[in-house]
Amino acid sequence: MFSYRHAFHAGNHADVLKHTILIATLQYMTQKEAALVALDTHAGAGLYRLDGDYATTSAEADEGIRRLEGAKDLCPLLQDYVDMVKAFNTSSTYKVYPGSPFIAQRLLGDRDKLKLFELHPTDCRSLSGNIAQLKAGRQIQVLLEDGFEGIKKFLPPPSRRAFLLCDPSYEMKTDYGRVIDMVADSLLRFPTGTYAVWYPIIPRQEAHDLPRRLKTLANKAGKSWLNAELTVKNSKITTAMRQGEEKRPGLPASGMFLINPPFTLKDQLKIALPQMAELMQQDSNAGYVLESGGK
């Protein structure tokens, strides 16, 4: 269960989608003076080297954030994302990529709290070390715990305002069901929280069913929801040119599903998603989906 390391995938097209939406959501939610509790169920290491062994092995950032590095006339949402990544780098070529914990910390106010869960021992140690450099004191708490279960003790929050990001690796098929159970339980504990779930779009029934099941949950709870999906290439198995053997491509698409999203987010994504698909397309199958529902 500990074979997944996000360092291999840092800055890929899925991160672009996830972190662009994360930034827009927290920018909106931190406008209010009341304190916000942000929860990250699968925080990872927090910071990643794009020139390190992990990232260069897969080179997924080349098809993600690096497609946006020199891009001109970016829409406001994507420009905010690029500016965020740029803030962690001293050169024009990005060598450091911030994960969701560091992006969230940059956007939170002094009274806001950030709870970071990471079950991978090595990544949790890295996360703790990286967070310690911020000298944020009690604002940030790193927990070596199962985030699916650990968040329960923070819902509902004393401030009555919460944002949750859930982006497991889905390395185990059981993660899909655990996401549904967690969201259902969270809505019972704190119905007005904003819940964001990242998911891969792959040829697996559980992956196909997840957004549909989340829609059903939100609708039954009488909550508004938004679903954004980004596809960059075909998902079919290809044949390697030299070896003559079948080879699976990397992740072709992913999605972000939000319950109780900011009311401004859909209009922002109407502009951002087409630009994402255009800049990061790998073949003619690139595209996007944007849908919403509920109250």
pLDDT score, position 6: 65
Q: In the predicted model, what is the mean pLDDT of residues 174-199?
A: 98
pLDDT of 243 > 60? The answer is no
What pLDDT was estimated at residue 241? Answer: 44
In a domain, 257, yes or no: no
Residue predicted with more confidence, 9 or 119: 119
Q: What pLDDT score does 136 carry?
A: 80
Residue 155 lies in a domain: yes
Give the integer Cα–Cα distance in Å for 263 and 28: 9
Once rounded to an integer, what is the mean pLDDT over residues 54-79? 86
Segment 236-253 shows an average pLDDT of 59
Stretch 123-137: mean pLDDT? 90
Q: Please, are residues 195 and 148 in contact by the beta-carbon 8 Å criterion?
A: no
Average pLDDT, the chain: 91
Q: State residue 249's pLDDT score.
A: 62
Q: Is it the case that residue 170 has pLDDT exceeding 60?
A: yes
252 within some domain: no
Separation between Cα atoms, residue 274 and residue 279, nearest integer Å: 9
Whether the link from the prior residue into 156 is cis, omega within 30° of 0, is yes
Binding-site residues for S-adenosyl-L-methionine, please? 19, 42, 100, 118, 146-147, 167
Residue 216 lies in a domain: no
Q: What angle do CA 200, 146, 260 make, to 5 degrees?
A: 55
Pull the structure tokens for residue 228. Answer: 């954004």
Lowest mean pLDDT among 51-65, 122-136, 159-173: 51-65
* pLDDT at 240 (0 to 100): 44
Ranges 4-13, 93-102, 185-194, 233-242, most confident: 185-194
pLDDT above 90: residue 9: no
* 128: containing domain: 6-209
Beta strand 225-231 with 287-293 is antiparallel
Query: What are the catalytic residues?
Result: 167
What pLDDT, on a 0 to 100 scale, did the predictor assign at position 195? 98
Residue 223 pLDDT > 90, yes or no?
Answer: yes
- Calculate mean pLDDT across residues 215-222: 97
On whether residue 293 sits in a domain, the answer given is no
Structural tokens at position 60 = 């997924």
267 domain-assigned: no
With tokens 């715990």, the residue in question is 145
Structure tokens at 120: 């991978």
In a domain, 239, yes or no: no
pLDDT bin (cut points 50, 70, 90) of residue 56 is: low
Q: How far apart are the first and last CA of the chain?
A: 38
Nearest Cα to Cα of residue 18 among 295, 251, 293, 286: 251
Higher pLDDT, 152 or 51: 152
pLDDT value, residue 278: 96
Residues comprising the binding site? 19, 42, 100, 118, 146-147, 167
Q: Does residue 280 form part of some domain? A: no
- DSSP class per residue in 65-99: HHHHHT--S--HHHHHHHHHHHTT-SSSS--EEE-
Nearest in space to 85 (alpha carbons), one of 111, 63, 61: 61
Q: 106: domain CATH number? A: 3.40.50.150
How many distinct structural domains can be found in the chain? 1
- pLDDT of the residue at 92: 79
Average pLDDT rounded to a whole number, residues 262-284? 97
> What's the mean pLDDT in 44-64?
81
- The total of other beta-carbon atoms located within 10 Å of residue 242's CB is 5
Q: How far is CA 242 from CA 18, 235, 238, 247, 272, in A?
A: 34, 20, 12, 11, 37
Taking residues 131-146, report their average pLDDT. Answer: 91
Q: Give the strand pairing for 162-166 and 194-201.
A: parallel
pLDDT: which is higher, 246 or 202: 202
